[in-house]
Structure 1
Amino acid sequence: MKIIDSTTLVAEVKAISEGLQYCLENHYSNIIIETDSLKMVNIIDGVWKIPWSVSIEVGSIHRIRDLISVRVQHFLREGNTLADFFANLIFNFAGTYEFKSNQDVPSEGRKIIMMDKGNTPYIRTKQINSSTQ
């Protein structure tokens, strides 16, 4: 299947590549990557052709997978709440964030972590405004 390049695809593959590089440098193993992008799972697992715009990063991911145990799995976007929180946190920030403990994470992020630990389901809702005439 031919994949159309997108900024989202490039950003996600770079994040995965850099995250795995961090794991390798800090001697983490048995890594599980969870993504809400089935496209990304299929590209990394070699099911789909690698778009040229991400070929270097995907190659880096494959090299790291040869050195440590890495599993890539798909999950529904409702499971992406914490990742969305962190992405929004750094969106307009030019520096670097590093959290070494839960206490370092802003309170909203800690709430998401605690909900996840408690297996509290997250239900995405959308409010519809109805106009009356």
Structure 2
Amino acid sequence: MEVRRIQILKEGLEVAIVHTLREGNKLADFMSNIVFSFTSTNFTYYNNFQELPTEAKTILNMDKSQIPNLRIRRIQNENYAQDR
């Protein structure tokens, strides 16, 4: 149903829908994790930059400075370390 609704909404418009990895929008990922970490129904509002959590400010400043967010994965192959 949701896909059909999106198709209806984009009819007659030039729309491009693309997937962005978590690293591509690290601030949105961080903020969504804050939302899901609260168990109460109270909402938290951030009205300006100074009210943001420190980590959110860091992510935002890195984004403004165009510093890339890299995903670093640990090598799964145990033999790799022994070969070196």
SS of structure 2 residue aligned to 1:91:
helix
**What residue in structure 2 maps to residue 17 of structure 1?**
none
**What residue in structure 2 maps to residue 79 of structure 1?**
24
Matches within 5 A, 1:63-74: 73-74=17-18
- Structure 1 unaligned blocks of 5 or more: 4-12, 14-39, 47-58, 63-70
- Structure 1 stretches (4+) deviating beyond 6 angstroms? none
What TM-score do you get using the length of structure 2 for normalisation? Answer: 0.63
Are residue 119 (structure 1) and residue 63 (structure 2) matched?
no
Of stretches 112-121 and 122-131 in structure 1, the one that deviates more from structure 2 is 122-131
CA-to-aligned-CA distance 1:10-64 (integer Å, 9 cap, x gap): xxx8xxxxxxxxxxxxxxxxxxxxxxxxxx7x963x1xxxxxxxxxxxx8xx5xx
Are residue 107 (structure 1) and residue 54 (structure 2) matched?
yes
Give 1 or 2: higher strand fraction.
Answer: 1
AA at the equivalent of 2:18: H
What TM-score do you get using the length of structure 1 for normalisation? Answer: 0.43
Aligned-residue RMSD, C-alpha: 3.3
- Structure 2 unaligned blocks of 5 or more: 10-14
Asked which structure has the greater RCO (Cα within 8 Å, sep 6+), the reply is 2
